[in-house]
Structure 1
């Protein structure tokens, strides 16, 4: 231990403290009772100490005035259900177990409490006071961007550490000091092994998208990291599903947690429509997918493999669709650039593997297409979570071959979803009505992608960085201390833009 208690958040308060944080208004009982567990899920535990009731307004909670002003400046006028239910308890230092789909408002649900309880403290070099663990680089950037204005308002510094970016820049940010650390487990372990990060002072720990971290094999790393934070600290765990691996984490690291489920089912919301479209064969499936990709408006299309992404993007570009791909084989700067194009509408069809199913926030996206159906209901829910976010409407369309019908029916049952089904052909008017599908222009699209800059002959360090010059790229949001520096779309600035090729005559 290097710093005194005066330089970090206070220890876990006595259970039940915080009852004076604003009296809840009548009829504010929006917290749902524990739902019936789905197949292979455990039932959310009942807390031994009763939870504080939900509130109707941010002003009813004991938060710094600077955070309340920033909420108003950001246009956040009233809390989402998960925020109203959990913030009174998390601000009081209670452990939390939250179950809910992406887009439900959980980032601010844990972020506001984390920042409010850390405000006024200063971190020692290499020793953050609060830790947010996430499974992917994209989700790390999204969390950083979402919390940045609030962290700035209360004079807290954020460092983001993820794989695929310069580990030296990230260690430098930690040496300068950062109260809040957003990290992927693998990169954080690397920094700890190098002696560049110490978790002894971490008093607040958040596991976001915990189920994907376990699905990706991070369970041993996550467990090892949680054993290094303060034993008397606060832990908040958020997950879209509650399987047995999550149960292990809850039993090992959460003390009498307050539970909250955003939705009675793991993913179905009233603003999201689910369609299963049966196609005759692979040829017709490709034709259907191409017509959907050519629609007016943006669409994310999920396929199983990196090779399938590259093949589909090549075909769509040749057919006149402004398409780009996103998968784990792309460097982080390439992924940032692709997302920048998609967010601005310069690319309208984003073809992706499951790497994009978590942590990608795209405003006003109303259609997700599973060209290749996912293998389990958790993947389906997280893919679909790219649309119908924050109360907006959206549709999830899944293309199903004859030999996939049985598996798809089982998957939908496990997800608690009753989809609308239809037998469809690429030429059917029903396809256009459901998805806006239309014939592509047939005029090939060319993406101007500049060649990477030759590396500077500085030294041989930075082996942990990514290819394609990712170590030296400014911006990108990874490793910078100071929440205002996280700008996940900046990596695309100044790079090539999509353009239509001239007709060959």
Structure 2
């Protein structure tokens, strides 16, 4: 038996190294092992790191940045900051993000409103609507004019809640202090029975909303800004009180030769001035026939011989109705004085200022020798005009029946897409929609003449008026249409401001006006005194998008059908069109844009800039010579 030992196992250095390498590798793998992390957890960790970094960066910036910079947050940053809080559910995160978005929306609106206020201030008139002597001497009237009229005792005894209920019922909005109560019947306003009978014969049985509140305000001697849709009876609000005041003056001390007027009514167009004068003549004659003192109204306007007005003035005039140009001429030549005038009315006040009569109106104020009661009326009176007007008024009361610049709800508005070359032919088809009388409006005098000629060739009894025709022809045309001798009246915007035609069935806008205010005035010739009317408007690609946007939102407001080609139009600042109680543009009253995008304001500024440039150029040339 062999007891020899087994030979030792020979170990190679390579094997030993291999074992060491394996153990070292396993140790390294153990150290570098990274457990699996779900995708959701990895994203959350990443967002947390980003959120922490952003939070630190923002904290450092906030020390140096202004308050406005602190407000700027984005949705992504909010989400990242939210993700830092792991214990908040997605639903809670969504709710909080929604709140932050609303807060940012409010701050954006606030910025928009601040920007608009700055623009409105920059375009606001710096000079008050007052006479030169009053401005020079620093004369300011603190209290309104006192009158002898007072509301009936049984109405005065009623509480304020009753007055508010009446105003709410008739959609009357009032601003001011010491507002007289609304009165729902003419006899309670203490008008003579003969006047009430005369109104009843004309179909006016009870006061309209503007009259319910406006007449007590004016009779009380208060300054007034009256805003109501066309055809709402604004004329009677200033005509009836001036008749009462003139009667009172005549009873106390009769007017002598070349004395007066006691009341002055300024109108922007000859047709409107003539219409107001005719209403005064009718009512004055009614009073005279019943034994009241004779009241003498007077008409002063271009196109009519001044001798007609002078004949009345020589006898002593109580009420004068005038257009700005003729009035200024007569004041300059001392044909008339305003020494005893205590009652001033500006009908369609915004149109007077827009048409460039602002300086004339300010000059007229300089001819007054004492305080006067000032009344401003219009269907469209933007905030700019209201602020401007308040500079001349003493503790004014603003009465608003509906939104300033809103269309009458009694008018059915139809908008049709008609190509330019097809409009004049399509007119005949539109005339078949309703029986006469029909009003057709066009922008240009040449279009008015062309439409008139075309309708006559087709056998339609039509008449036309525009600024290029002499006053006699214009007056005859309006009278023929008013007396139903003609079925159709074709006109420019001279017939759109305040004119009252009986029973207009249909208004056709041959072309859409460049200004939405003109559109409101045009369609307001129908649907008057509670009756229903129809307005058809032709539009096409030639119209400015800004005015079409205004038209779209005006139709929406009046709950009218919006055609597809208008509904598809969108404004860049659609979200800012309605900021609380402030709708649309505060400069022109359009609903389709804000004052920051107002085309009318932009056009006026461009015009002013170009005129300044011309003046400077001429001044330099004259200086050189």
Give the 3 Å change call, closer, same or farther, for CA 217–13 of structure 1 in structure 2.
closer
Q: Give yes or no for contact 1:134–1:183 (8 Å, CA) kept in 2.
A: yes
Residue 113 in 1 paired to residue 241 in 2? yes
Corresponding position of 2:333? 194
Give the 3 Å change call, closer, same or farther, for CA 45–80 of structure 1 in structure 2.
closer
Corresponding position of 2:226? 98
Q: Give yes or no for contact 1:99–1:238 (8 Å, CA) kept in 2.
A: yes
Residue 146 in 1 paired to residue 279 in 2? yes
Q: Give yes or no for contact 1:277–1:421 (8 Å, CA) kept in 2.
A: no
Residue 410 in 1 paired to residue 542 in 2? no
Residue 363 in 1 paired to residue 502 in 2? yes
Match among 8, 17, 31 for residue 167 of structure 2: 31
Distance 1:69 1:144 in 2: 20
Match among 270, 278, 282 for residue 420 of structure 2: 282
Give the 3 Å change call, closer, same or farther, for CA 360–269 of structure 1 in structure 2.
closer
Q: Give yes or no for contact 1:70–1:149 (8 Å, CA) kept in 2.
A: no
Q: Give yes or no for contact 1:126–1:196 (8 Å, CA) kept in 2.
A: no
Give the 3 Å change call, closer, same or farther, for CA 386–367 of structure 1 in structure 2.
same
SS at match of 1:119: helix
Q: Give yes or no for contact 2:439–2:507 (8 Å, CA) kept in 1.
A: yes
Distance 1:56 1:114 in 2: 20
RMSD between aligned residues: 2.9
Distance 1:225 1:303 in 2: 33
Residues 128-277 of structure 1 mapped to structure 2, 5 A cutoff:
128-152=261-285, 153=287, 154=292, 155-243=294-382, 246-247=385-386, 249-264=388-403, 266-277=405-416
Distance 2:539 2:201 in 1: 45
Report deviation, 1:226. Answer: 2.4
Distance 1:409 1:21 in 2: 51
SS at match of 2:328: helix
Q: If the length of structure 1 is used for normalisation, what is the TM-score?
A: 0.74
Residues 66-90 of structure 1 show CA distances to partners (whole Å, capped at 9, x for unaligned) of: 4344434544321111111111121
Give the 3 Å change call, closer, same or farther, for CA 62–249 of structure 1 in structure 2.
farther
Q: Give yes or no for contact 1:158–1:181 (8 Å, CA) kept in 2.
A: yes
Distance 2:387 2:170 in 1: 19
Q: Give yes or no for contact 1:343–1:362 (8 Å, CA) kept in 2.
A: yes
Distance 1:109 1:346 in 2: 30
Give the 3 Å change call, closer, same or farther, for CA 16–129 of structure 1 in structure 2.
closer
Distance 2:206 2:469 in 1: 38
Report deviation, 1:16. Answer: 11
Report deviation, 1:270. Answer: 2.6
Match among 150, 153, 165 for residue 18 of structure 1: 150
Give the 3 Å change call, closer, same or farther, for CA 244–220 of structure 1 in structure 2.
farther
Match among 180, 194, 211 for residue 52 of structure 1: 180
SS at match of 2:439: strand
Q: Give yes or no for contact 1:136–1:359 (8 Å, CA) kept in 2.
A: no
Q: Give yes or no for contact 2:225–2:375 (8 Å, CA) kept in 1.
A: yes
Q: Give yes or no for contact 2:380–2:406 (8 Å, CA) kept in 1.
A: no
Corresponding position of 2:191? 63
Distance 1:34 1:23 in 2: 17
Corresponding position of 1:320? 459
Report deviation, 1:339. Answer: 1.5
SS at match of 1:337: helix
Distance 1:250 1:33 in 2: 28
Q: Give yes or no for contact 2:442–2:511 (8 Å, CA) kept in 1.
A: yes
Give the 3 Å change call, closer, same or farther, for CA 171–81 of structure 1 in structure 2.
same
Corresponding position of 2:561? 420
Higher helix share: 2
Report deviation, 1:99. Answer: 0.6
User: Larger Rg: 1 or 2?
Assistant: 2
SS at match of 1:266: coil
Corresponding position of 2:600? none
Give the 3 Å change call, closer, same or farther, for CA 312–14 of structure 1 in structure 2.
closer
Q: If the length of structure 2 is used for normalisation, what is the TM-score?
A: 0.60
Residues 485-504 of structure 1 mapped to structure 2, 5 A cutoff:
none
SS at match of 1:363: coil
Distance 2:553 2:470 in 1: 35
Distance 1:188 1:356 in 2: 21
Structure 2 portions without partners, runs of 5+: 1-142, 566-625
Q: Give yes or no for contact 1:277–1:423 (8 Å, CA) kept in 2.
A: no
Distance 2:524 2:453 in 1: 26
Count of residues in correspondence between the two structures: 405
Distance 1:139 1:316 in 2: 26
Q: Give yes or no for contact 2:408–2:524 (8 Å, CA) kept in 1.
A: no
SS at match of 1:261: strand
SS at match of 1:182: strand
Give the 3 Å change call, closer, same or farther, for CA 34–54 of structure 1 in structure 2.
closer
Q: Give yes or no for contact 1:203–1:230 (8 Å, CA) kept in 2.
A: no
SS at match of 1:390: coil
Report deviation, 1:249. Answer: 4.2
SS at match of 1:404: coil
Q: Give yes or no for contact 1:293–1:349 (8 Å, CA) kept in 2.
A: no
Residues 33-81 of structure 1 show CA distances to partners (whole Å, capped at 9, x for unaligned) of: 9999xxxxxxx9831x221121111111133454344434544321111
Structure 1 portions without partners, runs of 5+: 1-10, 37-43, 425-505
Give the 3 Å change call, closer, same or farther, for CA 316–294 of structure 1 in structure 2.
farther
